[in-house]
Amino acid sequence: MTQLPPAKQGMPCQRLKQILQTLADPTPEQVVAEIDRCLSGGLGLPPRVFFETTEQASVAISITDPDAIILYANAAFERVTGYRADEVIGKNESLLSYKTTPRGYYERMWTDIKAGKSWTGRLVNRRKDGSRYLAELTISPVLSESGAIQYFLGIHRDITEVRHLHAQVASQKALIETVLDLAPMAVALLDDADKVVLDNHEYKKLASLFPGGEPARHVLRALFGEDGSHFKLPGEGFSEREFVIERGGSPMRWFSCSGVWFDRRETSAEAFLDSHRRRYLVLVMDDITPHKRRQEEQRLATLRAMLAEGEMVQSLREAISGAIYQLQGPVNLIEAALKMAQRRGSSGDSSALIGVLREALESGQSALDRLTQSMPSEAQESAAPVNLNEIVRDVLSVSTGPLLSAGVSVEWKPAPVLPAIPGRATALRTMLKQLVDNAIQAMVAHRSLDRELRIITSSSDDGVMIQVEDTGPGVPEGLRTKIFEPFFTTHRPMSRNAGMGLALAQEVVARHGGSLRIDPHYERGCRFEVFFPRGSREVE
Ligand code: FAD
């Protein structure tokens, strides 16, 4: 066993001598008590206990003189370094140096410990067999009563394995982060308080879309509402849920989002003794905007074709209805003339006239019947919940060309939340497009300098409303009811407007249980108001 260094063995005696000199006339009891205190270091423990404790400590302990000459080394020191204590006592601690540590590092260490401060650092050490190990070393100066450095206490442990494990974890983390960063989709790892603990480049890029907030939280709120508690249930994940980001001024972005929960054991100090597991959510967001744009373009092209076909059917119906309307007058006159002639009797002249009139009536009625039969029927469409914001967006999208060529600027103010109404989307689109086309036509015909179209949707306890405003000439008070009558038009007789547009628009709105009117108080141009009361049901 290692012997206590001679200098250390002498310490309690010197201290006792000093104390006894301060006592004027010490009694035997006082002397015994002082001897006891000195031997036990004032703690009631004999010095042997300190020695054995140090000797059996599991960390390598050495005591040196102020020049790092080793005076004592414990058993753990022997195990860690491979040197026996008697091989190192009297040698400098530098015999452990692997000679790779930069000189400046030692200089800083020595500056600290010479100044009486404790120093902790890592050094590459060499064992007796020449192998290296990484030592975590703390050197503490042991001061005399006057504050001079008497010894240095060195405590070190081999942290090669720990360092290796740390390096492995760090490199695996770096690897995971690199792979994550290379992923083309945004990935974030959230703890159970929705705090992002790991993310990738693509996720960081999303920050610009959500100024002043964590993108993941916005996304979860958009997908699951404010509370979102139901998707946190055990085992619940979700896959390919789509959401759209719409920011005023910037193009829409679509994302497909999936989430997977997993449990992980807590590593914090408080959780050391219990087996508490924490839940984490891996959130993956894939930007599907290009794909969605293509889909949307296809949808709009189909919509355009449907609306164009609808318009064609409508103008045919208008033309045929106009012809029927025009023909009905003469046929009615012929019928009246026939009845008159029949009342007068069937003399020679009259019977010839009756015959001619009957023939004329028959051919007029058969022309009317043929016209009625040739009327193209309206497209059949089944009713479904319709969001009027989407109807407005569709109509504005398909009207982009006419709006641009007419130099009309558009302001679109959608209600943030708009309850769906039961309805027929195509009929409603046709109706709204009629109002938009009318507004463009009115502003162009009036040669308005400021051509503005504003569409506002709103919702109240009573129902939902679309307002279509233009900066055209407006509709004079006397015509505000008339313009909804069939075949009423303010356009030239030969223009392509047969005067059925608003009549049909009103019919569509009425079939949805709503109302279409002109706001009499609007003065900048014309404002049409389409209103669907809450709970309105479409009527056939
Ligand atoms: P050296 O020439 O010995 O020293 C390098 C630089 O250190 C010098 O330029 C000088 O600035 C400074 N220096 C050295 N000795 C002194 C001194 N007495 N006073 C002021 N400055 C000085 N080193 C290890 O490599 N591994 C260890 O495990 C280790 N344990 C130590 C434990 C204790 C308690 C102490 C006090 C020192 C320990 N050292 C240890 C430091 C060791 O004593 C050497 O300073 C170091 O190993 C560098 O040795 P060297 O031969 O490469 O260079």
pLDDT in tens, 157-170: 999 999 999 999 99
To the nearest whole number, what is the mean pLDDT of the chain?
Answer: 85
Token readout for 201 is 């480049």
For residues 448 and 406, is the Cβ–Cβ distance under 8 A? no
For residues 511 and 538, is the Cβ–Cβ distance under 8 A? yes
pLDDT for residue 406 = 94
pLDDT for residue 232 = 66
Q: Which residues contact 116 (CB under 8 A, 6 or more apart)?
A: 141, 143, 147, 149
Query: pLDDT grade, residue 19 (50/70/90)?
Result: low
Lowest-confidence region among 6-10, 31-35, 441-445: 6-10
> For residue 225, is it left (φ>0), alpha (ψ between -120 and 50) or beta?
left
**What is the per-residue pLDDT across 85-130, written as a single tens digit (0 to 9) for each?**
999 999 999 999 999 889 999 999 999 999 999 999 999 999 999 9
**What is the per-residue pLDDT across 229-249, written as a single tens digit (0 to 9) for each?**
666 666 678 889 988 887 666
Residues with CB under 6 A from ligand 1: 62, 64, 67-68, 92-94, 96-97, 99, 103, 106-107, 110, 114, 123, 125, 135, 137, 139, 152, 154, 156
Nearest to 65 by CA among 155, 157, 142: 142
Question: What number is the average pLDDT over the span 369-397?
Answer: 88
The partner residues of 264 in beta bridges, in order of sequence, read 278
Angle at 291 between CA 289 and CA 292, to 5 degrees: 60
Half-sphere exposure of 172 (CA within 13 A, CB side): 6
pLDDT over 90 (residue 471): yes
pLDDT for residue 192 = 82
pLDDT over 60 (residue 27): yes
Dist. CA 96 → ligand 1 center (Å): 10
Residue nearest to atom 23 of ligand 1 (CA): 94
DSSP code of 229? G
C-alpha 55: how far from chain center: 60
Question: What number is the average pLDDT over the span 442-460?
Answer: 91
Q: Which residues contact 146 (CB under 8 A, 6 or more apart)?
A: none
> For residue 240, is it left (φ>0), alpha (ψ between -120 and 50) or beta?
left
Instruction: Kindly give the number of the ligand 1 atom that is closest to the alpha carbon of 113.
Output: 36
Dist. CA 145 → ligand 1 center (Å): 25
pTM for this predicted structure:
0.53
Place of tokens 């705090």: 195
Residue 281 has phi, psi (to 5 degrees) of -115, 125
Half-sphere exposure of 16 (CA within 13 A, CB side): 17
For residues 120 and 108, is the Cβ–Cβ distance under 8 A? no
Token readout for 314 is 């409508």
Residue nearest to atom 51 of ligand 1 (CA): 94
pLDDT for residue 29 = 65
Token readout for 518 is 């002109």
**What is the per-residue pLDDT across 279-335, written as a single tens digit (0 to 9) for each?**
889 999 999 999 999 988 898 898 888 888 877 887 788 788 888 888 999 999 999
